[in-house]
């Protein structure tokens, strides 16, 4: 019943938009293209954060609600480094070097935060019922948010201006015009994702991670140090969140203590959308969700004749989560969970 209703509403909305477009009202083709590109860039960022959720869920079987704050901490510390580099002049003189330093600082911070959180809060709860670590992670999320609020103040911190050679629009194949920053975001995301994929598929540690995700006890019997692998998982997830933090800064510039909340939830949505525990799925889910969020409000809600659709972006994302869980709870590419986490 719910399924039919959802399909009817969505198709009605899309048809409405098409009719509008045929009649020449609504956004122009260039607008649509911009929406798609913005959605893609944002989706790539969601995908990177989603990896952290997905990997932790695959290994430990719970939602690390505080992962959004791990992402925020990287972006926040990145800001302070970027600001100092700007004052020192390096940001203007040699942007690429400065950018690399900021990126490394952000990755280091996020990794550190993720590892500390695992050690302090999650390790003692390894054997607890699965809702207990989830509730703990909500507490950590709050603690981190308001610790950053207390330490660094409530103000939104704006990264220094990016150089103009980066932000100007560029022609791609003569058809698309894309802002340089969005190209960089996409490239960085793809590089990070490929590196991670190689790490998990090719290295010994990566194989151990997959083994632990499959079955902790058997993995331990095979001589794998489960605790160490779990820490590695958190560290790698944190590093990806750190990369995402800098990408966020490039797309939006502003960072504050609540920056982590919404991207966190959406990245989790992306992880579920792609199939939790599945790394390629996390990235796919991120991109699909980003696109959906970029285009969806116009496409579906605009067609239904609802005003102020851009306000409802988050509603679209959350509705997507609900719909995915109703239609295909195992995600687009299928979930990969150990035997005890499947429920």
Partner 1 sequence: MTASTATVDRPVRSAVDVDWRRVLKWGGLMGLTMAFVASIGMLEAFDRRLIINPYLSLGYLAIGWIPFAFAYATAHEEVKEGIEAPVKGLRDVVAGAAAGLVGSAGLAVFIWMISTFSLRDIFVKLSPVLVRLLTFDTSVATGVLIWVAIMVGLGALAGVMHVVTPRLRKALFSGVAWALAVSLLEAIVKDAFDEVKLRWLSSWAYNLNGGLEAIPAIVIAIIAGIVAYRYGGTIPKARRTYAGLAPERRLRLSVIGIVLVLALFIGLPLIVGGIVNELLANVGLFLLMALGLNIVVGLAGLLDLGYVAFFAVGAYGMAVLTSPFSPRFAPALDFWVALPIVILIAAIAGLMVGTPVIRMRGDYLAIVTLGFGEIVRILFLSDWLSPYLGGAQGISRVPFIDLGPWEIKGSNPKSIFYLVAVFVVLAIYISWRLQNSRIGRAWTAMREDEDVALAMGINTVTAKLLAFVTGAILASFGGAIFAAKVGTVFPNSFSLLVSIIVLVVVIVGGMGNIPGVIVGALVLIGVLGGPTQPGLLQEFQEFKLLIYGVLLIYMMLKRPEGLVPSAMRSRELHHEELTQDAWLAKEPEPAADGGTA
Residues that bind partner 1 (CB under 8 A): 2, 62-63, 80, 121, 124-125, 127-136, 138-147, 149-153, 261, 265, 268-269, 272, 306-308, 311-312, 314-315, 318-319, 321-322, 325-326, 329, 343
Residues across the chain: 343
Q: Which is nearer to partner 1, 178 or 301 (CB)?
A: 301
Q: Which is nearer to partner 1, 251 or 321 (CB)?
A: 321
**Would you give the DSSP letter of residue 26?**
S
Beta-strand relationship, 254-255 and 176-179: unpaired
Within 8 A by CB and 6+ apart from 269, the residues are 285, 289, 317, 318, 320, 321, 324
**Mutual angle of helices 226-252 and 204-214, in 10-degree steps:** 100
In the complex, least distance from residue 312 CB atom to partner 1, rounded to whole angstroms: 6
Q: Which is nearer to partner 1, 19 or 128 (CB)?
A: 128
In the complex, least distance from residue 251 CB atom to partner 1, rounded to whole angstroms: 21
Q: Which is nearer to partner 1, 1 or 29 (CB)?
A: 1
Provide the token pair at 220.
């331990």
In the complex, least distance from residue 28 CB atom to partner 1, rounded to whole angstroms: 22
Calpha distance 53→69 (Å, rounded): 12
In the complex, least distance from residue 69 CB atom to partner 1, rounded to whole angstroms: 10
Q: Is 276 helix (H, G, I), strand (E, B) or coil?
A: coil
In the complex, least distance from residue 262 CB atom to partner 1, rounded to whole angstroms: 9
Provide the token pair at 141.
């999320």
Q: Which is nearer to partner 1, 33 or 130 (CB)?
A: 130
User: Among 215, 274, 225, which residue's Cα sits nearest to residue 49?
Assistant: 274
Is there a contact between 321 and 31 (Cβ–Cβ < 8 Å)?
no
Residue 177, strand partner residues: 171
Q: What radius of gyration, in Å, describes the C-alpha atoms of the chain?
A: 21
Is there a contact between 107 and 113 (Cβ–Cβ < 8 Å)?
no
In the complex, least distance from residue 15 CB atom to partner 1, rounded to whole angstroms: 20
φ, ψ for residue 195, nearest 5 deg: -60, -45
Q: Which is nearer to partner 1, 206 or 331 (CB)?
A: 331
In the complex, least distance from residue 278 CB atom to partner 1, rounded to whole angstroms: 16
Q: Which is nearer to partner 1, 73 or 206 (CB)?
A: 73
Q: Is 177 helix (H, G, I), strand (E, B) or coil?
A: strand
Within 8 A by CB and 6+ apart from 206, the residues are 199, 200
Q: Which is nearer to partner 1, 185 or 267 (CB)?
A: 267
In the complex, least distance from residue 127 CB atom to partner 1, rounded to whole angstroms: 7
């Amino acid at each position: 019943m719910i399924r039919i209703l959802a399909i009817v509403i969505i198709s009605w909305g899309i048809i409405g938009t098409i009719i509008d477009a045929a009649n020449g009202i609504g956004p122009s083709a260039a607008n649509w293209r911009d929406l798609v590109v913005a959605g893609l860039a944002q989706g790539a960022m969601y995908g990177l954060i989603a990896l952290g959720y997905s990997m932790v869920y695959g290994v430990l079987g719970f939602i690390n609600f505080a992962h959004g704050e791990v992402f925020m901490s990287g972006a926040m510390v990145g800001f302070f480094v970027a600001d100092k580099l700007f004052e020192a002049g390096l940001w203007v003189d040699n942007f690429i070097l400065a950018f690399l330093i900021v990126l490394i600082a952000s990755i280091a911070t996020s990794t550190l935060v993720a590892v500390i959180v695992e050690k302090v809060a999650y390790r003692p709860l390894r054997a607890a019922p699965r809702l207990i670590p989830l509730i703990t992670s909500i507490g950590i999320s709050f603690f981190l948010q308001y610790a950053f609020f207390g330490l660094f103040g409530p103000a939104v911190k704006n990264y220094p201006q990016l150089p103009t050679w980066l932000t100007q629009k560029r022609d791609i194949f003569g058809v698309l015009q894309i802002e340089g920053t969005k190209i960089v975001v996409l490239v960085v995301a793809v590089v990070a994702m490929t590196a991670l994929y190689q790490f998990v598929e090719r290295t010994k540690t990566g194989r151990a991670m997959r083994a632990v995700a499959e079955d902790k006890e058997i993995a331990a019997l095979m001589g794998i140090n489960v605790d160490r692998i779990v820490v590695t998982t958190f560290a790698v997830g944190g590093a990806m969140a750190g990369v995402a933090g800098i990408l966020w800064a490039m797309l939006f510039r502003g960072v504050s203590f609540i920056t982590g909340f919404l991207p966190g939830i959406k990245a989790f949505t992306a992880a579920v959308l792609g199939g939790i525990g599945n790394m390629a799925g996390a990235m796919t889910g991120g991109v699909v969700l980003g696109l959906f969020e970029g285009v969806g409000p116009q496409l579906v809600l605009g067609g239904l004749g609802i005003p102020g659709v851009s306000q409802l972006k988050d509603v679209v994302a959350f509705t997507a989560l609900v719909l995915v869980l109703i239609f295909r709870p195992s995600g687009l590419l299928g979930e990969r969970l150990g035997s005890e986490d499947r429920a």
